[in-house]
Amino acid sequence: MKRRQFLRTGAALSLALSQSRWLQALDADNRYRKEIGIQLYTLRNEIRDDVAGTLKAVAEAGYQQVEPYGFPGADEMIQAAKDNGMAVHSSHINADAILYPDRQGAPTVDVLLEKANDAGLTHLVVPYLANDLRGSLDQYKQVAERLNAAAESASQAGIQLSYHNHAFEFQPLKDGRCGYDVFMDEFSDKMKFEVDIFWVRVGGHDPAALIRKLRGRVSQLHLKDLDPSVKTPEFGSVPAEAFQELGDGVIDMEPVLAAAADAGVAHCHVEQDQSPHPVKSIQQSMAYLRQL
């Protein structure tokens, strides 16, 4: 076989194998599809008005688990999810006690862990980093130290602590390094990442490549799609229309889910931060996942 033909044949075989892995990742029996979750922040306005009715609509849309927000103040969401046959493994938390250890009034780490165990949770997620904690690489390093200490306590309680990214963590701060670089370098083996693929893309990176780079260190994913009109990288705010239902944007879900399987990701949750009709949006995203 001539070298050119060999290379052409090899490339075709590699592509076929890659596509086969993607198809396997999206097969109807794939656990991410069978156990797909929803981050309930998507439905925050509906939940404010009607917790029980909103969680019923989530179950009817086909979601098998939910990820609440504001834990430990998420009891109604958790109970309504369970009443509708959905699992609750993870929640975003009030992380003030972790990030601001001298601040009074926030639930302590011990309280968070005790209540998480009472609720049957196995994952807790730090959802956001305020401006005053992310102005320099040294600040990110200090945050990493605090997260590592909390993750050690969480591990002893049988809970996995993770950090959920936005785009600002990818903004270069000094010598080309960004906050996410610090986290990748400094997080202990007890501290994991919840990768939000939308914000990774907004931050100028390939979500599937990042997940593979973090193999063994990603606990969960947030699946959401990005409108093609958005110019990246963008480290500030994005317009509401930037958030799209799965399949309506520029992020290819097949390689993301294949990377998740390879990297040992435990759970995947659909999320859409902004939508004029959130219930319809989560129904559309579920329909997209089912038809792949």
The amino acid that residue 26 corresponds to is L
The partner residues of 84 in beta bridges, in order of sequence, read none
What's the pLDDT at 14?
A: 45
pLDDT at 31: 78
Q: How many degrees, rounded to 5, is the angle at CA 96 between CA 115 and CA 263?
A: 75
pLDDT by 10-residue block (mean), the chain, 292 residues: 38 44 53 91 98 98 98 98 98 97 92 98 98 98 98 98 98 98 98 99 98 98 98 97 98 95 97 98 95 76
Both structure tokens of 221? 């994913």
Q: What angle do CA 263, 42, 67 make, to 5 degrees?
A: 50
* SS3 (DSSP) at 219: strand
Nearest CA among 252, 194, 202 for reference residue 37:
194
pTM over 0.85: yes
Per-residue pLDDT at 30: 72
Q: For residue 278, with 0-12 CB atoms within 10 Å meaning exposed, 13-18 middle and 19 or more buried, which class applies?
A: buried
What pLDDT score was predicted for residue 171?
98
The domains located in the chain, with CATH, are 31-291 (3.20.20.150)
Instruction: Using alpha carbons, select from 195, 191, 264 the residue that is nearest to residue 224.
Output: 195
- pLDDT at res. 56: 98
Q: Measuring CA to CA, which residue among 78, 101, 194 is closest to residue 153?
A: 101
- Give backbone dihedrals phi and psi of 235, rounded to 5 degrees, phi first: -100, 0
The 3 state secondary structure assigned to 72-101 is CCCHHHHHHHHHCCCECCEEEECCHHHHCC
> Which residues have a Cβ under 8 Å from the Cβ of 249 and sit 6 or more positions away?
225, 226, 227, 228
What does the pLDDT read at residue 33? 82
Question: What kind and span of H or E run contains 123?
Answer: strand 123-126
